[in-house]
Structure 1
């Protein structure tokens, strides 16, 4: 029996469309601040907790360590983060927000909430909660 691909019932295709749209909207909203959707997870991690290692940021934001290196380089050039020597390891750094990085938090935290709400708008409140719970369950299972 041959199974035919139908994009309208393909989870992968649909989740990719939603993720792509979310990324475009987030990029557009962050552009005035010199940021992109790719830089966002690292900023979120640091607003939650500073003084973490690059590896901890990569794990928490679910991206490769090499991607996190490039992200931190960009954020450092923007003057939003700084690397400080790790007192426990000569080969690693601890990552901290700069004054400018701290100041962006209150301005930017509402941005993804607005994007998320726009994307979830076609769903009822119960469907939105169910969608989030199901996605959380999937992520925990990865």
Structure 2
């Protein structure tokens, strides 16, 4: 007897991993093109998004939220700092940690960047009904353990 997961491996259009990989690639490429219209890229998107949700995070906290390696976060912050979008400030209780804050320019990009992401998501989900799209998001959150 085969498990449900084994039944879903072949053909590839039944494979969760393949479908997620294809979806992620399509969404990332589309969002990257849209972000380029406002001077950003997909590489800085997770960090900016996390800072729009909450400023003052340390580099370690950002790396955890973005699920990136510490050195990747360092390079991304270097890029964002050169672009004039973030600033590093000394942490009030730790001599080694720095807190990351958006500049006014970084804050000003929030609306236009989120509009690009909304348009990207809307285009991608256009084949689904509103209820199906909500269900898909709920199920993906459940599968990755971030139920809301």
TM-score, scaled relative to structure 1: 0.90
Give the corresponding residue for 2:78: 73
Aligned counterparts of 1:139 and 1:81: Cα–Cα separation in 2: 30
2:117 equivalent to 1:112: yes
Cα RMSD for the two superposed structures: 1.8
Question: 95-104 or 34-43, which moves further after superposition?
Answer: 34-43
Q: Quote the residue 2:68 is aligned against.
A: 63
Aligned length, in residue pairs:
141
Per the TM alignment, residue 31 of structure 1 is displaced from its structure 2 partner at its CA by: 0.6
Instruction: Quote the Cα distance in structure 2 between the aligned partners of 1:138 and 1:37.
Output: 24
Q: Is residue 21 of structure 1 aligned with residue 30 of structure 2? A: no
Given that 2:60 and 2:70 are in contact with CA atoms closer than 8 Å, whether structure 1 keeps it comes out as: yes
When the two structures are superposed, what TM-score results if normalisation uses the length of structure 2? 0.87
| 1:122-133 superposed matches below 5 A | 122-133=127-138
Following TM superposition, the consecutive aligned residue runs of length 4 or more in structure 1 with deviations greater than 6 angstroms are: none
Would the aligned equivalents of 2:35 and 2:42 in 1 still touch at CA under 8 Å? yes
Q: CA deviation at 1:67?
A: 1.8
Structure 1: unaligned runs, 5 residues or longer: none
CA distance in 1, matches of 2:144, 2:66: 12
